[in-house]
Amino acid sequence: MLKKYSNLSTILGIICVITIFTSYAIAPRQPEGAMVVVIQILFFTSIITGLLSLIFSFIGFKKKEQGFLKMVAPIIVILILLIFLISFLLMVISFF
């Protein structure tokens, strides 16, 4: 059985992680001009690839593909959300 959905899900999950962290890594304090467009493209690409990876992972579960690759995308997306939640909580705590 081919694991085409699981492979696509994993690849898109990795692209999601790379683009979201790249958009935050290259962002200056006050982005101007073309940098704003680049950051927006990276950010929205990460959202789209994250959603597509979840969709392909769901299709992999529905097609009963074997292996652990179909579980990688949900784990990646959950970890990204946890990182943002923890950073938000740390910012809130720092104001006290």
pTM for this prediction: 0.80
Contact criterion met (CB below 8 Å) for 57 and 6: yes
Cβ-based burial of 70 (10 A; exposed 0-12, middle 13-18, buried ≥19): buried
- Extents of the domains making up the chain: 4-94
| pLDDT tens-digit readout, 44-87 | 999 999 899 989 888 888 888 888 877 888 888 888 889 889 98
Placement of tokens 């492979």 in the chain: 7
Q: How far is CA 89 from CA 10, 29, 43, 86, in A?
A: 29, 20, 21, 5
